[in-house]
Amino acid sequence: MPAVRRDFSATASIGATWGFIGLGHMGYPMARNLRAKLPEHDALIVHDQNREVAQKFKEEIGVAAAGAGAEGKGNAVKVSDSPRELAEKSDVIISVLPGPPHVKSVFGHILHPRLPPISETISAETDRLFIDCSTIDPTSSTDIANAVHSSSSGRFVDAPMSGGVVGARASTLTFMLGCPSHNGNGNGKLAARVTPILELMGSKVVHMGTSGMGLAGKLANNYLLAISNIATAEAMNLGIGLGLDPVHLADLINGSSGQCWSSRVNNPIKGISPGAPVERDFEGGFSVALMKKDLALAMKAAKEHGVELELARRAEDVYEDVEEEMGGKDFSVVYRWLEGRSTGGNRSRRGR
């Protein structure tokens, strides 16, 4: 039976069904914020490879949503056994997965066999909508988009995000949207449909262009992040080694031309960036492995398009060494790795 459709400009009395695939460090708080902002009559179905995580989400977030009024409709949170089952029942499907193999596997299961339509009348405003927030290579994403569209399974957009776990928890993420803006099939309205959905989980949406361009923007941004994270760690390590108080040094940097996200929001020194991973011994943030993966994707895309990245190889070496010694930690743990390699005796313990 087709899901009940509703226009996002309509009243919230008509329920819609939302699907969310991937409840990792980023996906869990994003799905939590989504459920908190959805109308009480809407249903949220979640799936994660780790069923215990999905069940935990249902128990924690579903109870809260039910307490806010969704209980009467039984719509708070449901757990699906497979991505295919979730997609069959959902109007909008949001995915947040670790990398290209995971995204390809999930959509392989979703699209084969062909998904049944959710409505007899299909348009950009009513068709099943897939929003992939994973960071993968633009080519793979475009291939998946083509597979979704050619099989008439729905509409697909790439919408990777920036802001880290802190932004996911605070709902302040910036989304980079890749989808057609104008063509003969009505997709000029697709970006207008997707934007308010992403705003339920973030604070800014930038339409970067057609399919794959959201990811192109994300790879350029995360290449810069990979470099600036190392530079921030080196600058803090240098200043402290020269005898500067780390708080005074951070105040100087963040009020001067050297300031960046890594120095302001994710500083690797305790007591500077409230809520930063260093306050939790570098646990629970954007892992070194994910940063290394994004850097490798940027390097691959650069090579395919003949773009030179002078600092990429050395940065890759750094993250490989850090992962080998401190795998599983937030990528700002580069500071601790640098500190351990320094020979000066006047060292701060704030990063410990």
Q: Known catalytic residues?
A: 218
CA 187 to chain centre: 24
> Measured between alpha carbons, how far is 201 from 174 in angstroms, rounded to an integer?
9
Q: Which two tokens stand for residue 133?
A: 């927030």
Phi-psi region of 167 (alpha: psi -120 to 50; beta: other; left: phi over 0): alpha
CA 261 to chain centre: 16
Q: Residues 6 or more apart from 305 whose CB is under 8 A from it?
A: none
Residue type at 332? S
> Measured between alpha carbons, how far is 169 from 275 in angstroms, rounded to an integer?
11
> Measured between alpha carbons, how far is 36 from 114 in angstroms, rounded to an integer?
32
> Measured between alpha carbons, how far is 133 from 96 in angstroms, rounded to an integer?
5
**CA atoms 32, 33, 37, 43: torsion sign:** negative
* Placement of tokens 């670790």 in the chain: 98
**CA atoms 81, 285, 26, 71: torsion sign:** positive
> Measured between alpha carbons, how far is 164 from 284 in angstroms, rounded to an integer?
10
Torsion of CA 305, 262, 275, 39, to 10 degrees: -40
**Partners of residue 156 on adjacent β-strands:** 130
Where does the chain show beta strands of DSSP type E? 17-21, 43-47, 78-79, 92-95, 129-132, 155-158, 161-162, 173-178, 202-209
